[in-house]
């Protein structure tokens, strides 16, 4: 029953070309399911847009008399919304033609990509955090709390310690990682020491962190003295990540850091001793213990590293271009989104990075969809949740589309350990 | 079989196999004694000699229990310390723990009340009790939803989503039908809708239950938020002005001092919550359905062998849980407010904490919910008297208490054995 952690260990030996090709075809199932899941989610999202639009629904009142009107109106509102989603996340054709004809600037062409990458960055970190813990057999629902503690320490280092530019940034990032690591250590330690289930403890610690954040923001020396609302002092510019494409575009060096960290996590998982032990413990703790691996020590280090990753994601929210000060909602939903990203990325480091890119694009496009087509940004949350639901149940997607491939690339997340 | 059915999971699990001098009781005793002494010294020193009054009404008027602030803080702190010391006898652990915690809280209150601004050195007990129960209502519903799910072996992390969907459906349909009762039914269906997804995906498609719960919370958040902005914000009068249930007085009971005005001049949802606790308790431990539910949650294979339809029972219980949580969600929109985005705001997770803290039993969940409700209400009260204790730290209390509980510091917490494990026949 709880054997569903198959396919964790990637092949270590060299594959022949034929094997590699077959492997790729087999993996294509994963890609197929992912694409179809996105399509299904968009279809359901379209239905939601239609039924929640009183004008369009009015057309359905005389559907039998003039079906064309209703269908045309439905098509217009949905295609308009999804066109905005695309224009806001990938590229706006109008901006490109303006640029070619010399009327527009290059910045407008790259603005959507810049926004997408800006939203992608923190999700890579939290997604990796959840994925790494998953591989070690732990379900880290606490990425949200770890990101919150990370953002607190990063911001404090960012405006309380005066340091020269580059060093200040490094110190702030390390402080963020440290904060997350501390918050990850607690459930890891409790799991190792008392067997307390990490799912329960990480959920609880999320809220402890949130209340701590709302408390610390309004303390003297932390709160912005010019403001009466709950906002901290801004992080010094010496602790800010540099922007990559000039001051008008928000994309910042965090995305480079995210790629490096993805590479690092991939190395850690697949090439290092700790990674081997981590995967062994994730697959079968009892066998690992018999083989001489310290399961408890592995649990603690997994959670510390996962926490540090989430903490980095949190730090990104104040040293990047998203915000420069603490507010109660400064980390938004990045921790919870990280869970979805990890699942969508099949708990593999590069898969997580790609999944984060998709989620970042949805989020960036959602902003445009809200401002241009006045479709609430909440639709993006719905789409993200639906995508992951379909991903998590590949059997359902296959049934809907009558796919023949029986050997489903089953999601390896069914840890199914309960509490 | 009735004899067997009364043995609960906890009773088996709690059987203490402790050796050596430092039993759990003695360890906790040391902690409690230290906390009591500390309370007596610190709270005693900080308290003023103002009289702390616990009035038996809603304001400063009427009869009251009065005690000198400094004296009270020291006295109750010492009571807690003595209770802790008494734990060295290794007996009466739950009672001593109760006395110790109450002593500690009273010591703290004596300090706070005596230290309040002039003229506010009183705590209206009726208000406190009423607030505690009202704030506990959604927690009770949510935790009961958890009991129903998890006792039959399905982890319910989606309580938050079920409450939210219930609140939303109650507001929407209640407004459109202009009837609170129809709204209540719609809320139950809304909660059951989230449950249905949970059931189908975890039981039929074997998706990990915690994963599904988390995703469903986000789905409910997005769905209600989206429809709120599309419908409710554009036309409040048409979609989001739900009719409210008024308060109902219960004859005779309402005349009991303190408890009467606090509990029995209340609303439908509180009565329903308290009745449901009783019903679920009896059903779970005294009926055939309950025995089957618990057996499916502990050892589905054995239950299957004996002819229990494991999956059918799980479907039914998960749906029932959604109905209960949906009604709990309606207590937000069909009682006082109209719907707003994310209006549950984490209460579903406190309900989850109450479920775990109450050790997966209905009565335990009730007590835990009341404890968390009291912490919440205390935060409101301390805010009103300008206490130096930040409300955020009181808000953390339920979560910290749960962490301590699952870490084994306050007794053994054990989930149903098959909780979270999908059942595959074969």
User: What string of H, E and C letters represents the secondary structure of B321-356?
Assistant: HHHHHHHHHHHHHCCCCCCCCCCCCCHHHHHHHHHH
B96 contacts: CB under 8 Å, gap ≥ 6: B29, B32, B83, B84, B86, B87
Phi-psi region of A376 (alpha: psi -120 to 50; beta: other; left: phi over 0): beta
Helix axes A106-135, A334-344, angle to 10 degrees: 80
Q: Given this model, what pLDDT does residue A106 score? A: 87
Residue B374, in any domain of the structure: yes
Does the residue B15 lie in any domain? Answer: no
Claim to verify: residue B391 and residue B245 sit in the same structural domain: yes
Same structural domain, B100 and B140: no
Whether residues B216 and B359 fall in one domain: yes
Chain A stretch 313-352, residues whose beta carbon is closer than 8 A to a beta carbon of chain B: 333, 336, 339-340, 343
CB atoms within 10 A of CB B179: 15
Considering the domain architecture, whether residues B43 and B157 belong to the same structural domain is answered as no
Q: Which of A208, A396, A413 sits opposite B399 (nearest CB)?
A: A208
Q: Do A215 and B226 touch (CB under 8 A)?
A: no
The residue ranking higher by pLDDT, B252 or A136, is A136
Q: Answer whether B226 sits within 8 Å of A48, measured CB to CB.
A: yes
Does residue B91 sit in the same domain as residue B195?
no
**Which has the closest alpha carbon to A123: A368, A305, A369, A361?**
A361
Residue with tokens 């339920």: B398
pLDDT score recorded for residue A24: 52
Confidence at residue B22, expressed as pLDDT on a 0 to 100 scale = 77
A interface test, pick of B142, B208, B296, B404 with most A CB neighbours within 10 Å: B208
The whole-angstrom distance between A339's CA and the closest CA on chain B is 8
Asked which of A189-203, B184-198, B287-301 is least confident by mean pLDDT, the reply is: A189-203
Per-residue pLDDT band at B388 (split at 50, 70, 90): confident
Q: Helix, strand, coil proportions of chain A in percent (round to 5)?
A: 70, 0, 30
Given an 8 Å threshold on Cβ–Cβ distance, is B209 in contact with A389?
no
B370 & B240 share domain = yes
Average pLDDT over residues B286-292: 94
Which among A321, A390, A294, A405 has a CA at the least distance from the CA of A26? A405
Q: Domain containing B59: what range?
A: 20-115
Count of the separate structural domains present in chain B: 2
B97 and B194 together in one domain: no
Q: Of B201, B218, B226, which has the smallest distance from its Cβ to A376's Cβ?
A: B226
Cβ separation of A336 and B225 shorter than 8 Å?
A: no
- Find, in chain A, the residue whose alpha carbon is nearest to that of B360: A419
Q: Which of B201, B233, B392 to mutate to test the interface with A (most CBs of A within 10 A)?
A: B392
Give a yes or no: residue B5 inside a domain.
Answer: no
Establish if B212 touches chain A: CB-CB under 8 angstroms.
yes
Residue with the bigger pLDDT between B16 and A242: it is A242
Q: How far is B196 from chain A (nearest CA, A)?
A: 13
For residue B11, being part of any structural domain is answered with no
Domain assignments of chain A as residue spans, ordered by start: 121-353
B292 falls within a domain: yes
Taking an 8 Å cut-off on Cβ atoms, the answer to whether A200 and B210 are in contact is: no
pLDDT tens digits for range B47-72: 887 788 888 777 777 777 888 888 88
Q: What is the CATH number of the domain that holds B273?
A: 1.10.3470
**Who's near A129: CB < 8 A, 6+ residues apart?**
A140, A143, A146, A180, A184, A306, A307, A309, A310, A313, A338, A342
Q: Are B400 and B270 within one domain?
A: yes
111-140 in chain A: CB under 8 A from chain B:
139
Model confidence band, residue B23 (pLDDT cutoffs 50, 70, 90): confident
- Residue A139: which of B210, B218, B234 has the nearest Cβ? B210
**Among B412, B418, B405, B420, which Cα is nearest to B11's?**
B412
Those residues whose C-beta lies under 8 Å from the C-beta of residue A127, and which sit 6 or more positions away, are A337, A338, A341, A342, A345, A352, A353, A355, A356
Q: How far, in Å, are A212, A309, B375 from residue B144 at the CA level?
A: 29, 36, 20
Domain membership of residue B424 (yes or no) is: no
Q: Are residues B330 and B392 in the same domain?
A: yes
- Which one of A48, A204, A381 has the shortest CB-CB distance to B403? A204
CA distance A386 to chain B (A): 7
Using a CB-CB cut-off of 8 Å, the residues of chain B touching A52 are: 226-227, 230-231
Q: Do A212 and B407 touch (CB under 8 A)?
A: no
Structure tokens at B422: 């999908």
pLDDT of amino acid A294: 92
Is B231 near chain A, with CB under 8 Å?
yes
Q: How many CA atoms lie within 13 A of A408 on its CB side?
A: 18
Whether residue B292 is found in the same domain as residue B241: yes
CB-based contact A166:A333 (threshold 8 Å): no
Q: Which residues contact A159 (CB under 8 A, 6 or more apart)?
A: A232, A233, A234, A235, A236, A239
- Same domain for B48 and B110, yes or no, is yes
Yes or no, beta carbons of A201 and B403 under 8 Å apart: yes
Interface confidence, given as ipTM, is 0.86
**Along the 419 residues of chain A, how does pLDDT read in single tens digits?**
344 444 444 444 555 666 665 555 444 467 778 888 999 999 999 999 999 888 888 888 778 888 888 889 899 999 999 999 999 999 998 899 989 888 888 888 999 999 999 999 999 999 999 999 999 989 999 999 999 999 999 999 999 999 998 999 999 999 999 999 999 999 999 988 888 888 889 999 999 999 999 999 999 889 999 988 899 999 999 999 999 988 889 999 999 999 999 999 999 999 999 999 999 998 888 999 999 999 999 999 999 999 999 999 999 999 988 888 999 999 988 999 999 999 999 889 999 999 999 999 999 999 999 999 888 899 999 999 999 998 888 778 777 776 654 444 444 334 445 55
Mean pLDDT computed over every residue of chain B: 86
> Are B79 and B156 in the same domain?
no
């Amino acid at each position: 029953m709880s054997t569903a952690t198959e396919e964790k260990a990637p092949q270590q030996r060299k594959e022949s070309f034929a094997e590699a090709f077959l492997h790729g075809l087999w993996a294509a199932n994963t890609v197929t399911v992912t694409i179809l899941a996105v399509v299904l989610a968009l279809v359901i999202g379209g239905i939601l847009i239609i039924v929640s639009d009183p004008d369009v629904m009015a057309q359905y009142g005389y559907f039998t008399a003039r079906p064309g009107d209703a269908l045309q109106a439905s098509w217009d509102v949905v295609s308009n919304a999804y066109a905005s989603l695309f224009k806001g996340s990938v590229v706006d054709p109008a901006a490109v033609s303006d640029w070619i004809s010399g009327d527009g600037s290059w910045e407008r062409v790259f603005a959507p990509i810049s926004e997408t990458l800006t939203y992608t960055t923190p999700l890579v970190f939290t997604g990796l955090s959840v994925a790494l813990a998953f591989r070690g057999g732990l379900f880290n629902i606490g990425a949200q709390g770890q990101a919150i503690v990370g953002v607190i320490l990063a911001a404090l280092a960012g405006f309380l310690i005066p340091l020269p530019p580059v060093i200040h940034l490094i110190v702030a990032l390390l402080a963020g990682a440290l904060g997350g690591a501390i918050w990850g250590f607690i459930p890891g330690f409790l799991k190792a020491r008392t067997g307390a289930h990490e799912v329960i403890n990480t959920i609880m610690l999320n809220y402890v962190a949130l209340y701590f954040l709302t408390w610390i923001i309004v303390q003297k020396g932390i709160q912005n003295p010019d403001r009466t609302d709950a906002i901290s002092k801004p992080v010094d510019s010496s602790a800010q990540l540099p922007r990559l494409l000039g001051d008008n575009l928000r994309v910042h060096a965090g995305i480079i850091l995210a790629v490096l960290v993805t590479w690092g996590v991939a190395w850690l998982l697949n090439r290092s001793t700790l990674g081997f032990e981590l995967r062994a413990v994730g697959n079968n703790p009892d066998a690992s213990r018999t083989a001489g691996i310290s399961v408890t020590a592995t649990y603690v280090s997994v959670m510390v590293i996962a926490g540090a990753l989430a903490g980095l994601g949190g730090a990104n929210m104040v040293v990047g271009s998203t915000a420069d000060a603490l507010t109660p909602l400064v980390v938004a939903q990045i921790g919870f989104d990280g869970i979805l990203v990890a699942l969508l990325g099949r708990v593999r480091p590069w898969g997580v990075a790609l999944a984060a890119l998709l989620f970042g694009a949805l989020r960036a496009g959602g902003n445009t969809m809200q401002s241009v087509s006045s479709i609430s940004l909440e639709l993006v949350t719905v789409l993200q949740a639906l995508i992951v639901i379909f991903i998590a149940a590949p059997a359902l997607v296959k049934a809907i589309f009558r796919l023949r491939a029986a050997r489903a690339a089953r999601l390896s997340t069914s840890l199914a350990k309960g509490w | 079989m009735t004899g067997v059915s009364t043995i609960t999971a906890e009773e088996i699990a709690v059987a203490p196999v402790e050796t050596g001098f430092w039993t759990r009781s003695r360890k906790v005793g040391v902690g409690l004694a230290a906390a009591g002494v500390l309370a007596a010294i610190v709270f005693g020193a900080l308290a003023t000699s103002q009289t702390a009054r616990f009035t038996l009404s809603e304001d400063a008027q009427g009869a009251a229990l009065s005690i000198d602030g400094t004296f009270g803080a020291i006295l109750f702190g010492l009571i807690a310390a003595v209770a802790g010391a008494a734990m060295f006898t290794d007996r009466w652990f739950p009672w001593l723990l109760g006395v110790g915690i109450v002593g500690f809280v009273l010591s703290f209150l004596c300090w706070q009340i005596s230290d309040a601004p002039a003229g506010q050195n009183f705590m209206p007990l009726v208000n406190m009790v009423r607030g505690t129960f009202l704030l506990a209502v959604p927690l009770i519903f949510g935790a009961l939803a958890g009991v129903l799910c998890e006792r039959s072996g399905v982890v319910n992390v989606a309580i938050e989503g079920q409450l939210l969907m219930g609140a939303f459906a109650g507001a929407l349909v209640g407004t459109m039908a202009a009837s609170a009762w129809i709204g209540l039914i719609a809320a139950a269906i809304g909660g059951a809708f989230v449950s249905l997804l949970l059931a189908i995906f975890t039981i039929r498609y074997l998706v990990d239950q915690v994963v599904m719960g988390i995703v469903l919370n986000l789905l409910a958040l997005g769905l209600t938020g989206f429809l709120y902005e599309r419908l409710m914000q554009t036309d409040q009068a048409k979609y989001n002005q739900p009719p409210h249930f008024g308060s109902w007085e219960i004859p005779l009971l309402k005349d009991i001092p303190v408890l009467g005005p606090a509990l029995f001049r209340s609303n439908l949802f509180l009565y329903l919550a308290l009745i449901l606790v009783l019903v679920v308790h009896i059903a779970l431990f005294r009926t055939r359905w309950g025995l089957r539910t618990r057996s499916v949650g502990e050892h589905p294979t054995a239950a299957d062998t004996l002819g229990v339809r494991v999956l059918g029972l799980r479907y039914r219980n998960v749906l029932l849980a959604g109905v209960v949580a949906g009604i709990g969600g309606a207590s937000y929109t069909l009682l006082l407010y109209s719907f707003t985005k994310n209006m549950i705001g984490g209460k579903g997770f406190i309900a989850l904490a109450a479920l775990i803290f109450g050790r997966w039993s209905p009565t335990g969940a009730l007590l835990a919910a009341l404890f968390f409700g009291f912490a919440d209400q205390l935060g409101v009260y301390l805010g009103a008297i300008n206490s130096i204790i930040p409300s955020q730290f009181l808000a953390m209390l339920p979560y910290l208490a749960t962490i301590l509980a699952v870490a084994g510091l306050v007794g053994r917490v054990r989930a149903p054995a098959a909780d979270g494990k999908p059942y595959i026949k074969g």
